[in-house]
């Protein structure tokens, strides 16, 4: 995978223009029966996703090109989806590391296609593997479920609506519901991104800094053993990360599937894989067994509360964790987001850090995470890849049994 050059970017832009012009210039076939076929529908859907990914690849959004895949009756959905894609692209352009693609692979799995005259209903699952230019990893996404309604106009299949889980769209709608336009909502979100990037730019950490933080945590475990008279155990961050990567794309059948809100359930499983024992002692509890599970196992706000409050009582068992920050987070730590859907009501999304991302100077500039989001899962995805309202880090220091 070679680094994206100016020549490649120009070639990609020309390719997008060619795809769109060919798709727009002529019907998909000369036969009326042919353009009503499943192959014609797949061709139209494939062209749309290819154009969308090329825009993401070059961080070049064209509202005109994007809208060329939508029917005239799709005004509401088109406005939302175009605002979401533009916001995501502009957010990524503001990040210190390059979010252009050096390579990618798109997967579309068609679950069903139903055609009734000039109307088609498409159910498909989207996945991708992406190599971002600024990141030395392949970031994968699987399981994005789309329900696409299409209509045929002049022998062409066009999108009326594309329903799927999109947290950027939810973030935009949080402001639109307050009476703002999508343009105003996008401006507020991007201003927030600029503030966040500026704050992070003042945090410079090297590998030596991380070694020092890890040594401090190990020293705390020893202090807990001998001075606090507690049986403390080291949190197995690597085991937690290994589990998160194994199940990022799927759902472990040994646990309940809480989709579309499976993010905390997934991270709780990962933390348990790191050795942390179930805790049913004290005011703050966290467990999953054959009889049921606690709200802290599946709720972002309850999980955050458990992590930050459980260690305060020396008689408690279970996790001991402390509030952390972008400047001191470690692999295996937990990240919480307020995504803006209910601004000010607390955290509503949970992820686990799987790796550090270093810049050219050898300082940590970002993290990779695993998460479940909606019906989908992301593995080793850049934490900074999408906008958020607020971000909180929790460092799991150890646990007691």
Q: What is the CA radius of gyration of the chain?
A: 23
For the chain, the residue count is 401
* 186-213 tens-digit pLDDT: 999 999 999 999 988 766 555 565 565 5
Q: Please tell me the predicted confidence (pLDDT) of residue 363.
A: 84
* For range 99-117, the mean pLDDT: 97
Q: Please tell me the predicted confidence (pLDDT) of residue 364.
A: 87
Contacts of 247 (CB under 8 A, 6+ apart): 266, 269, 270, 377
Instruction: Count the Cβ atoms, other than its own, within 10 Å of residue 94.
Output: 15
Please, what CATH class does the domain formed by 6-200 belong to? alpha beta
Six token digits for residue 66 = 């994007």
User: How far is Cα 72 from Cα 51, in angstroms, rounded to an integer?
Assistant: 19
What angle do the packed helices 38-58 and 75-93 form, to 10 degrees?
A: 30
Q: Please tell me the predicted confidence (pLDDT) of residue 26.
A: 38
Partner residues linked to 145 by β-bridges: 125
Contacts of 384 (CB under 8 A, 6+ apart): 95, 97, 366
- 63-67, 75-79, 121-125, 242-246: least confident range: 75-79
Q: Please tell me the predicted confidence (pLDDT) of residue 315.
A: 58
Q: Please tell me the predicted confidence (pLDDT) of residue 308.
A: 92
What residue ranges do the domains of the chain occupy? 6-200, 203-400
User: How far is Cα 165 from Cα 261, in angstroms, rounded to an integer?
Assistant: 11
Partner residues linked to 109 by β-bridges: 125
User: How far is Cα 268 from Cα 113, in angstroms, rounded to an integer?
Assistant: 37
Q: Please tell me the predicted confidence (pLDDT) of residue 312.
A: 55
| pLDDT higher than threshold 50 for residue 45 | yes
Q: Please tell me the predicted confidence (pLDDT) of residue 251.
A: 95
Note the pTM of the prediction, 2 decimals.
0.86
Six token digits for residue 139 = 């970031």
Q: Give the residue from 64, 146, 82 showing the smallest Cα distance to 108.
A: 146
| pLDDT higher than threshold 80 for residue 276 | yes
* 320-348 tens-digit pLDDT: 899 999 988 999 999 999 876 666 678 99
User: How far is Cα 30 from Cα 53, in angstroms, rounded to an integer?
Assistant: 29
Burial class (CB in 10 A: 0-12, 13-18, 19+), 185: buried
Contacts of 54 (CB under 8 A, 6+ apart): 12, 13, 15, 16, 19
Six token digits for residue 211 = 């070694």
Instruction: Count the Cβ atoms, other than its own, within 10 Å of residue 283.
Output: 10
Q: Please tell me the predicted confidence (pLDDT) of residue 105.
A: 98
Three-state secondary structure of the chain: CCCCCHHHHHHHHHHHHHHHHHHHHCCCCCCHHHHCCHHHHHHHHHHHHHHHHHHHHHCCCCHHHHHCCECHHHHHHHHHHHHHHHHHHHHHHCCCCCCCEEEEEEEEEEEEEEEECCEEEEEEEEEEEEEECCCCCCEEEEEEEEEEEEEEECCEEEEEEEECCCHHHHHHHHHHCCCCCHHHHHHHHHHHHHHHHHHHHCCCCCHHHHHHHHHHHHHHHHHHHHCCCCCEEECCHHHHHHHHHHHCCCCCCCCCCCCCCCHHHHHHHHHHHCCCCCECCCCCCECEECCEECHHHHCHHHHHHHHHHHHHCCCCCEEEEEEECCCCCCCCCEEEEECCCCCCCCCCEEEEEEEEEECCCCCEEEEEEEEEECCEEEEEEEHHHCCCCEEEEEEEEEEEC
Q: Say which residue, 226 or 384, is predicted with more confidence.
A: 384
* For range 235-263, the mean pLDDT: 95
Q: Give the residue from 126, 197, 157 showing the smallest Cα distance to 374.
A: 126
| pLDDT higher than threshold 60 for residue 31 | no
Six token digits for residue 279 = 């805790």
Q: Please tell me the predicted confidence (pLDDT) of residue 212.
A: 59
């Amino acid at each position: 995978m070679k680094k994206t050059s100016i020549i490649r970017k120009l070639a990609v832009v020309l390719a997008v223009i060619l795809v769109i012009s060919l798709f727009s210039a002529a019907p998909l076939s000369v036969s009326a029966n042919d353009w009503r076929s499943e192959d014609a529908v797949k061709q139209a859907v494939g062209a749309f996703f290819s154009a969308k990914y090329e825009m993401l690849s070059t961080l070049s959004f064209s509202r005109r090109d994007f809208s060329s895949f939508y029917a005239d009756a799709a005004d509401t959905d088109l406005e939302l989806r175009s605002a979401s894609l533009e916001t995501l692209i502009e957010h990524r352009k503001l990040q210190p590391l390059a979010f252009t693609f050096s390579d990618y692979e798109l997967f579309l799995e068609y679950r069903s296609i139903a055609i009734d005259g000039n109307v088609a209903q498409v159910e498909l699952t989207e996945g991708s593997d992406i190599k971002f230019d600024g990141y030395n990893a392949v970031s994968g996404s699987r399981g994005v479920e789309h329900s696409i309604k299409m209509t045929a106009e002049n022998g062409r299949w066009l999108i009326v609506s594309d329903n799927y889980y999109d947290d950027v769209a939810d973030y935009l709608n949080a402001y639109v519901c307050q009476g703002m336009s999508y343009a105003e909502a996008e401006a507020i979100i991007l201003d927030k991104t600029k503030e966040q990037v500026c704050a992070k730019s003042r945090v410079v950490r090297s590998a030596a800094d991380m070694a020092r933080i890890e040594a401090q945590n190990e020293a705390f475990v020893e202090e807990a053993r001998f001075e606090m008279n507690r049986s403390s155990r080291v949190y197995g961050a690597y085991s937690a990360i290994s589990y998160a990567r194994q199940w990022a794309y799927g759902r472990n059948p040994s646990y309940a599937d809480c989709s579309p809100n499976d993010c905390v359930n997934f991270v709780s499983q990962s933390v348990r894989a790191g050795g942390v024992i179930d805790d049913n002692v004290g005011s703050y509890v966290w467990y999953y067994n054959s009889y049921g599970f606690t709200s802290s196992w599946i709720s972002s706000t309850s999980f955050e509360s458990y992590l930050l409050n459980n260690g305060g009582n020396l008689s408690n068992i279970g996790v001991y964790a402390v509030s952390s920050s972008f400047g001191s987070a470690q692999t295996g730590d937990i990240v919480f987001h307020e995504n803006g859907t209910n601004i000010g009501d607390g955290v509503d999304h949970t992820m686990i850090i799987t790796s550090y991302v270093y810049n050219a100077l050898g300082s940590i500039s970002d993290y990779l995470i695993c998460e479940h989001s909606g019906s989908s899962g992301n593995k080793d995805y850049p934490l900074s890849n999408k906008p958020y309202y607020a971000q909180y880090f929790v460092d799991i220091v150890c646990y007691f049994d």
